[in-house]
């Protein structure tokens, strides 16, 4: 029902209109009246009428002045002028202000009702149209959010190529390009609806952790999407490694808060951080690493919670072995140092009675989970880590003495070293095959990272990462170095022209080859042939120059 307010300086007219119409029956509410515009204004602001009926000639503030003010302050209010004057100038001024109707007195009750219903219908139509537009805008906004979430999800999942991601991001007004990328991931699980968490039931440290997590989720600075009801994923970008490390501080601080929480949390939180990547297509690798780290951190956290529940009085952090010390030994220790290290390291466990207490199980399980998490950080492609973990956990359950504890720690160390040795050997064999492939195919313009990856049966992103880590060069840098060295050999030992040599080393564009040769060697092909210089005479190291390409 629309609210109607009447403004007229003649009390008889106001009373007649008020009393001669059954307002509720006709679908309206008569919310009040006033003798002039000045008195009417506060009533209009208070009562918020849908329709304003006003006279023009009134004392203190006339109807046109009132209409002008109402139109500016409350543009949705529909105005009907009932005037005893038919002058053209009055009507024209009223219409310029957007008045709906300009009618001459006197009007019967039936005419007023008809007039009000016409205006009421117009109000309904406008409101429906406004609601439709708002719904459409919301739909478009939701669609854009969904599209952004899908784009980021596909990018992290490896379902989209770099060129397509850049194209879609431009249409969504998202900036994806940067020098460096890293993915962070958080899983936060409340015991019930997050809105029902009572602050008076939580410890101060737990409240601080929850506030930190929510602050991260509400920060619009980074690209972010909700992977599931509990999991949030961030893609952090930076133009320098220092900048990216600064962006990661809040996530690392959250990890620290979780690990240092002295008692079990009613809210389960786990945070994983992937490795820094310098290519958009490798965001997928960082995502997988963040997911894996989050998984291992959650397992370690659950193990500690289980210990505290089983031994509520034993909350001393020194109960747990120094995990960092053990992992450091795994990285740099040697077989000759193994036995004395294990004996010294396990001394803290000598007093455990393995027959009557399960505390040793939790301590060794905690250390084992940390070893697996570190192994996943360093060697991303472990085969069947869950199966190996289950086997080792079963062994922990059968330990009954300190000597067996030392034997288990020795086996855990040997397992880690076997991963290290196996993966290095695997990479070494793969890299030999790739280099041989380049030596045999450098003269083909079709040679590419994709083709080399297919040759050794790995993904291009994995080959790119391993090749860079193990050789200190990218695939393209090594290929270019091979081609330029072969071109230098041909220039010194044959009389072939520059464009012929370009074709022989895999470049169809002789002009590009000439520019590239000069940028790498500091000389044109003609100057190089004339001077007969050796490879060692390059003006700068090949590696430095190739990195500038």
pLDDT digits (tens, 9 = 90+) for 248-306: 888 888 888 777 664 455 677 888 888 888 888 888 888 888 887 887 777 776 666 66
Nearest-CA neighbor of 293 among 334, 252, 354?
Answer: 252
Question: Stretch 69-90: mean pLDDT, rounded?
Answer: 80
Query: Per the CATH hierarchy, to which homologous superfamily does domain 442-547 belong?
Result: Homeodomain-like (1.10.10.60)
Cα separation of 399 and 278, whole Å?
A: 46
**Window from 100-109, 173-182, 446-455, 489-498 with minimum mean pLDDT:** 100-109
Comparison of pLDDT for 98 and 178, the residue scoring more: 178
Closest residue by Cα to residue 33 from 25, 44, 22: 44
* Overall pTM > 0.75: no
Q: What is the pLDDT of residues 24-53, one digit of tens each?
A: 998 999 999 998 888 999 999 999 999 999
> Is residue 535 over pLDDT 50?
no
What CATH number should be reported for the domain whose range is 2-128?
A: 3.40.50.2300
Grade residue 233 by pLDDT with cuts at 50, 70 and 90.
very high
Cα gap 85→93, rounded to integer Å:
13
| The pLDDT of residue 541 | 45
Of residues 432 and 233, more confidence is placed in: 233
pLDDT band for position 547 (50/70/90)? very low
| Average pLDDT rounded to a whole number, residues 152-176 | 83
| pLDDT the model gives residue 466 | 76
**Structural domain boundaries of the chain?**
2-128, 316-436, 442-547
Percent of the chain surpassing pLDDT 90? 11
Sign of the torsion angle spanned by Cα atoms 499, 502, 503, 507: negative
pLDDT score for 281:
83
pLDDT at 312 (0 to 100)? 53
How many percent of the chain have pLDDT more than 70? Answer: 82
Give yes or no for a contact between 348 and 321, defined as CB atoms under 8 angstroms apart.
yes
pLDDT tens-digit map of 150-161: 889 888 888 777
Cα angle vertex 468, ends 463, 472, to 5°?
Answer: 150
């Amino acid at each position: 029902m629309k609210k109607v307010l009447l403004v007229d300086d003649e009390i008889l007219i106001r009373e007649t209109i008020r009393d001669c119409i059954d307002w509720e029956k006709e679908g309206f509410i008569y919310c009040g009246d006033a003798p002039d515009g000045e008195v009417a204004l506060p009533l209009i602001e208070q009562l918020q009428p849908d329709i304003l009926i006003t006279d023009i000639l009134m004392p203190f503030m006339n109807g046109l002045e009132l209409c002008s003010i109402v139109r500016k302050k409350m543009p949705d209010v529909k105005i009907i002028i009932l005037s005893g004057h038919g002058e053209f100038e009055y009507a024209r001024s009223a219409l310029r202000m957007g008045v709906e109707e300009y009618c001459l007195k006197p009007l019967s009750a039936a005419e007023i009702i008809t007039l009000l219903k016409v205006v009421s219908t117009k109000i309904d139509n406008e409101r429906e149209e406004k609601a439709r537009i708002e719904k459409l805008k919301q739909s478009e906004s939701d669609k854009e959010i969904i599209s952004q979430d899908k784009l980021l999800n596909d990018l992290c999942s490896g379902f989209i190529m770099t060129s397509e991601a850049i194209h879609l991001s431009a249409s969504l007004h998202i900036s994806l390009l940067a020098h460096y990328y890293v993915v962070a991931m958080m899983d936060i699980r409340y015991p019930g609806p997050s809105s029902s968490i009572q602050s008076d039931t939580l410890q101060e440290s737990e409240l601080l952790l929850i506030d930190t997590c929510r602050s991260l989720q509400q920060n619009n600075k980074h690209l972010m999407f909700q992977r599931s009801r509990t999991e949030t994923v961030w893609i952090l970008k930076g133009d320098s490694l220092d900048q990216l490390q600064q962006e990661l501080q809040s996530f690392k601080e959250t990890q620290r808060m979780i690990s240092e929480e002295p008692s079990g949390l009613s809210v389960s939180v786990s945070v994983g951080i992937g490795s820094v990547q310098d290519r958009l297509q490798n965001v997928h690798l960082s995502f997988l690493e963040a997911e894996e780290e989050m998984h291992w951190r959650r397992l370690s956290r659950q193990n500690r919670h289980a210990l505290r529940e089983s031994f509520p009085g034993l909350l001393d952090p020194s109960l747990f072995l120094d995990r960092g010390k053990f992992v450091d030994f795994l990285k740099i220790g040697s077989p000759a140092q193994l036995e004395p290290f294990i004996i010294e390291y396990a001394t803290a466990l000598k007093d455990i009675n393995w027959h009557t207490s399960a505390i040793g199980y939790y301590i060794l399980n905690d250390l084992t989970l940390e070893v697996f998490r570190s192994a996943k950080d360093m060697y991303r492609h472990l085969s069947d880590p869950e199966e190996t973990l289950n086997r080792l956990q079963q062994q922990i359950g059968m330990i009954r003495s300190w000597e067996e504890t030392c034997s288990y720690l020795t086996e855990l160390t040997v397992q880690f070293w076997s991963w290290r040795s196996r993966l290095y050997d695997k990479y070494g064999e793969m890299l030999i095959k790739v280099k041989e492939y380049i030596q045999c195919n450098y003269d083909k313009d079709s040679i590419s990272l994709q083709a080399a990856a297919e040759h050794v049966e790995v993904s291009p992103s994995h080959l790119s990462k391993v090749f860079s880590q193990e050789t200190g060069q990218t695939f393209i840098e090594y290929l270019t170095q091979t081609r330029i060295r072969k071109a230098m050999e041909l220039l010194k030992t044959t009389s072939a022209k520059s464009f012929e040599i370009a074709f022989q080393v895999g470049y169809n564009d002789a002009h590009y080859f000439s520019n590239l040769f000069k940028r790498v060697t500091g000389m044109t092909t003609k100057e190089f042939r004339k001077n007969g210089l050796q490879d060692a005479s390059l003006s700068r190291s090949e590696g430095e120059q190739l990195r500038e390409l």
